[in-house]
Chains A and B, each alone.
Chain A
Amino acid sequence: MTYRAAVTRPEAGTHRDRARGCLLGLAAGDALGAPAENLTPAEIRRRWGRLTEIERGGTDDTEYAIFAASQLVRHGHALTSADVAAAYRAEVLPRITGPMRGAGFSELGTVEALRRGLEPPMTGLVHQHGWSDGLAMRAAPYGIFCPGDPAEAARLVEQDGRVSQSGEGVLGGRAVAGAVAAAMAGLPPREVVAAALSVVPEDSWTARAVTRAVAVLDRIRQDRPAMQDRPAMQDPLAVQDRPVAEDPPAVQERAEEGREPDGEEAALVEALHEAVVVSHYPWTDVAPEAVALALAAYLAGDGDVEASVTFAVSLGRDADTIGAIAGAVAGAGRGEGGVPGRWAARIGPVAGTCLPVVAGRHVLTVADELTDAAARHRPAAVAGDETGAEAGDDRADPRAGAPADGPGGGSRTAKGQ
């Protein structure tokens, strides 16, 4: 049954529409990727070919994003790490009576640190999973709240991140919040990825991983035209039995249900793994890796929600989080109408399995609350919600935004441009 948080869908391209698209995309990517988590790409291909249909509900990604959004709605741009720590103490800790289901190591470590009486940033430093993608998975609301202002989105998400993460885990959150903020302003995918890179230090694992992943896509795209002239038998990247698509990208064209992924796509998946995946490590929730894979999937899908998200979850590893990030960024760019209707129909209120405090909340309601909150906190001149995100408004160009103020600071643009 389709859940409807509003009687009519908002006008395409408005802040409200993009906010709804973003969180619907996040929830859909989370749910689609959940059964593929920790599987190898080969095993995913063996089981599903291309995984295109949501089989079960979402996981921690959606519930923690809703929790983060509630902090933003409450505190706006004044949000501090102390506010977030207080919310954990008031709303999360008392409800953990047995196992903390669905939580990742960084959340568990943070809860233990809070119980020991520590305060941020030490709560994010004392456990050893500071680099986890636990912040990146819930970073999208910060981008929704700061459309067109990646630097402010990154500053705010860092307030949240300092409670539970450190180092690259914080940077992964900044990159995703920055990307969503840029996508909320309608920027094209390349500029969205540039915005993500603009809010993390160039000398960081996150920046290096994203840059390497973008380089893989560039290399494969550059190679492709030359391959058209050669026999398919000699060409590992050639598409069998049909011409190579150049525009739109092949990945997007192939997102239809039931189509088997071909050799070219498998080669791209392998090359992305080679470029950014950590081999000798038993866990897959490494933020620089997940963020780089998600942004690569978003670029490979050219910003299309279905193409980006289905390719994202085909990468395996932390597939639900990679799918959620790709879905959030793509959904912010394409709006509610960009999320396939059959996926949207599967997204209901969350169960509160991971965070009981958010049980019963729906991402569309949360998106609307974020939109209203962003309007409340916006200067009066641009406070008109339904026109706020239109192209050509007076919102700051993210590429010219305030310098990043994160660890190692300094604004930068993408090397891959």
Chain B
Amino acid sequence: MSGDRIRGAFAGLAVGDAVGWPAGRHRSALHAPWSRRLHRELDAFAEEHRVTTLPVPFALNQPVAPLALGPSDDAEWLAWTALTIDRPRAEAFRELREQSPDLRARISVATALDNLARGVEPPASGHDNPHHFDDAAAVRAVAFGALGRDPAGDARVTNAGDGVLGALAMAAAVAAAVATGSAAQAVEAALAVLPGDTAIGHNARLAIEAARAAGDPFAAVPALDAALLDHVYSYAVGAALTVPVALALAEVSGGALGRAVPAAACLAPLADSAPALTGAITGACGGFEAIPEGWTASARTLAGCCLPHLAGTDLIELTEELV
């Protein structure tokens, strides 16, 4: 097992998380609530006056650091997972709610926390959940996969069905990438845990086929959009979409983060988490040293936009202690 590849998985996820527009939106949570209200009002103004491109996210007299390129929700949840990985998972979530009552989370996690509070335990906490299919657990599974652990118990606290399968697939892919450095083997390991008669298993094979036919990550973007994306109602973070895209782009890029992550960010509806998951697999394939230093420098310090108690934590230093 390679320490450089484990650091690469964590840093790669943070770099992918920092890429693109959604990170700025998450980080704007650090500003005063009125700045986000103004944001909504400016949207309404633009609609009314038929003008485009207003200045958002919005800072006005606020500290500007959150507007700089940097990591957001996924890197924070990954760090929390790594820090609490030895705790029983339902307990860890209960403790988090105590520790960070103002946390922000995906709908699956928010509902699971409600379920735990009303006495609904895992796996029902993740199953009786309208967003049981999202990729919150898949993000956390990067920690489990990088450290060679089973993500299933953690995943079932907040997710079910495709959401749990997404976590199993990400952990398998990252573990294989850490062990071998091969994107092809990472994808093969992930497919082995994704049954073909599930949406995520169906989509993973469809995405890989589309990307192979295109032959290149950037060339695969329109093919993935046409074959895979939900044009009816995009949840942005559905594991049955984001994990297959990450697998397909990791494979067709040959494990090159610098080619795979930008392509993932081009799939606008998935730009919140698909780049992060893509970055985790490809970061593990190439290792930490292969990621451009400017990106790791920008992506390593957590903002605390979802988990305020993690503000200022250095993700890479945290990873050093785990390796």
Residues on A lying within 8 angstroms of B by beta carbon are 105, 108-109, 112, 121-122, 125-129, 131, 167, 203, 205, 208-209, 278-281, 283, 286, 288
Contact = CB atoms under 8 A, between A and B. Distances in A.
B310 interface: no
Contact of A126 (B107, B233, B240): B240
A131 B235 CA distance: 14
A122 B206 CA distance: 13
B111 A127 contact: no
Contacts, number: 61
A109 B203 contact: no
A86 B161 CA distance: 27
- Interface hub of A121, A208, A278 (most chain B Cβ within 10 A): A278
Nearest to A276: B128
Given A105-B233, A109-B233, A167-B161, A125 B124 contact: no
- Interface hub of B197, B230, B232, B235 (most chain A Cβ within 10 A): B232
Interface string B65-100: 000000000000000000000000000000000000
B25 interface: no
Contacts of B127: 205
A206 to B, nearest CB: 9
B110 interface: yes
Nearest to B226: A116
Nearest to B232: A108
A60 to B, nearest CB: 15
Given A127-B232, A129-B233, A280 B107 contact: yes
Chain A binding surface, main DSSP class: loop
A105 B124 contact: no
B311 interface: no
B133 interface: yes
A109 B199 CA distance: 13
A377 B107 CA distance: 46
Contact of B130 (A109, A112, A131): A131
B117 to A, nearest CB: 10
13 contacts: A109-B233, A125-B198, A127-B232, A127-B233, A128-B133, A129-B233, A203-B124, A205-B124, A208-B124, A208-B128, A280-B107, A280-B114, A286-B130
B131 interface: yes
A128 to B, nearest CB: 5
A372 B199 CA distance: 39
Contacts of B230: 109, 112, 126-128
Contact of B231 (A112, A205, A208): A112
Contact of B202 (A126, A286, A288): A126
Contacts of B129: 205, 278
B238 interface: yes
Contacts of B133: 128
A128 B240 contact: yes
A121 to B, nearest CB: 8
Chain B binding surface, main DSSP class: loop
B111 A278 contact: yes
A281 B114 CA distance: 12
A72 to B, nearest CB: 27
A89 B111 CA distance: 36
Contact of B235 (A122, A128, A280): A128
A397 to B, nearest CB: 31
Contacts of B233: 105, 108-109, 127-129
Contacts of B197: 121-122
A231 to B, nearest CB: 32
A346 B120 CA distance: 43
A279 B130 CA distance: 10
Contacts of A122: 197, 199, 202
Contacts of B120: 208
9 A-B pairs with least C-beta separation = A280-B110, A205-B128, A125-B199, A108-B232, A126-B199, A281-B130, A109-B232, A112-B232, A105-B233
Contacts of B130: 131, 278, 281, 283, 286
B98 to A, nearest CB: 18
B128 A281 contact: no
Contacts of A109: 230, 232-233
A12 B13 CA distance: 66
A309 to B, nearest CB: 26
A280 to B, nearest CB: 4
A127 B203 CA distance: 11
- Interface hub of B130, B133, B197 (most chain A Cβ within 10 A): B130
Contacts of B199: 122, 125-126
Contact of A280 (B111, B128, B238): B111
Contacts of B114: 278-280
Contacts of A279: 110-111, 114
Nearest to B133: A128
A104 to B, nearest CB: 10
Given A127-B232, A128-B235, A128-B238, 12 more contacts: A112-B230, A121-B197, A122-B197, A125-B202, A128-B133, A129-B233, A205-B124, A208-B128, A278-B129, A279-B111, A281-B107, A281-B130
A109 B114 CA distance: 28
A317 to B, nearest CB: 13
Contacts of A125: 198-199, 202
Contacts of A286: 130
Contact of A281 (B111, B161, B198): B111
B46 to A, nearest CB: 22
B232 A105 contact: yes
A240 to B, nearest CB: 31
A237 to B, nearest CB: 21
